[in-house]
Amino acid sequence: MNDRVVTLHSIEEASRRLAGIVHRTPILENRHLNQLSGNRLFLKGEHLQKGGSFKYRGAENAISQLSSTQLKRGVITQSSGNHAQAVALAAARRGCPAQIVIPSNAPKPKIAAVRDYGAEITFCAPVASERVRVMQRLQTKLKATYIPPYDHPSIISGQGTIGLELIDQTHRLDVVVAPVGGGGLLSGIASAIKALSPETRVYGAEPAGADDAARSLEAGMQIPQSAPRTIADGLLTSLGDSTWPLIQRKVDGIQRVEEAEIVQSMIHVWQWTKQIIEPSAAVAIAAVLSAPFREKYQNASVAVVLSGGNVDLRALPWL
């Protein structure tokens, strides 16, 4: 976790660290989705990544830079979602203890997955202040290294390796669309794409009910998320101090989508591609199927990042 800034170089270094460890996920194509969008969609299958989401890239890039002393003391983070699984998995690979602070109301399958990857779980009351308080107390006690979910150059550079792969795996890209929550994924990919293919447009996809990135870009200043309401549980957070400036400089726009569009897009993907993607990933599909996007782009080559596939199969949003 020595990266100070995100550059093409830091992303390429991440790529070298991750080679042979992180899955180079496939590009999927689907005739039905192409027809619905009017574009040729290259679906980047990060739901097939280890841990079921792109988060493993950043976690692995961060943890692979720790010293042996740091690895011995262990790592710590707080998350009830994909970052928790990613940190657990990356730590386990190095034999490094992992402490995950999880709110006591987190879905049981997610808790089970983190435990399955060998991490130790500490439960806390389900309020943000408690999560931080419990984590900081533990971190001080254990001298563990904090692995942030998105707001750090090492995390962003790790997620940016998806951009390198997209350039490698496709002939030419007119557009790249990725969901935006804290912005680690979007800022990392935008940094890679704009360095290697400046003419490619990069858009974020965001639920209308959690649109701090769209509002921040429109206002030209960082506006925090307030009272987010969306089924896309990976996109509830605010942009961070590392991700916001990158997004402001490198992202061409944010497409907002409504909840009904997210659900319908998730059904389309499940039904036609037989791939399980989570609501946050469906947000990116909803963006390329939205009327504004289709009015702007037709017959274009569009990469869409299927960011993750961790869903509670007992609580599907269309039921």
Active site residues: 55, 80
Helix (H) or strand (E) holding 54: none
Does 20 participate in binding a copy of itself (rule CB under 8 A)? Answer: no
249-268 residues in contact with a copy of itself (CB under 8 A) are 267
d(CA 211, CA 195): 26
- Beta carbons within 8 Å of 113's beta carbon, 6+ residues apart: 52, 85, 310
CB of 193 to a copy of itself, least distance (A): 25
Q: Residue 59 Cβ, how far from a copy of itself at the closest point, in Å?
A: 18
Closest distance between a copy of itself and the C-beta of residue 89, in Å?
Answer: 11
Distance CA 240, CA 119 (A): 26
Q: Which is nearer to a copy of itself, 4 or 274 (CB)?
A: 274
Assigned token pair, 105: 């109301």
Determine, following the binding rule CB under 8 A, whether residue 68 of this chain makes contact with a copy of itself.
no
Integer Cα distance of 27 and 304 in angstroms: 9
Contact code string over 111-150 relative to a copy of itself, x by CB under 8 A: ----------------------------------------
Dihedral class, residue 110 (left if φ above 0, else alpha if ψ from -120 to 50, else beta): alpha
Strand 120-124 versus strand 98-103 pairing type: parallel
Angle at 185 between CA 219 and CA 79, to 5 degrees: 100
Span near a copy of itself by CB under 8 A; candidates 141-149, 205-213, 238-246, 270-278? 270-278
Q: What is the DSSP letter of 144?
A: P
Give min distance, CB of 21 to a copy of itself, in A: 14
Q: Examine residue 52 and tell whether it contacts a copy of itself (CB under 8 A).
A: yes
Cα–Cα dist 62/153, whole Å: 9
Identity of the residue, 81 or 204, whose beta carbon is nearer to a copy of itself in the bound complex: 81
- Which residue in 236, 224, 219 sits closest to 179, CA to CA? 236
Q: Which stretch binds a copy of itself (CB under 8 A): 44-52, 62-70, 191-199, 282-290?
A: 44-52
Number of chain positions touching a copy of itself (CB under 8 A):
17
CA distance 251 to 245: 10
| Binding to a copy of itself, residues 81-110 (CB under 8 A) | 109
Give whichever of 253 and 317 is closer to a copy of itself, judged by the CB atom: 317
* Tokens matching residue 204: 């974020």
Binder of a copy of itself out of 87, 276, 286, 304 (CB under 8 A): 276
Which residues lie near a copy of itself (CB under 8 A)? Answer: 47-48, 52, 109, 267, 270-271, 274-277, 309, 313-314, 316, 318-319
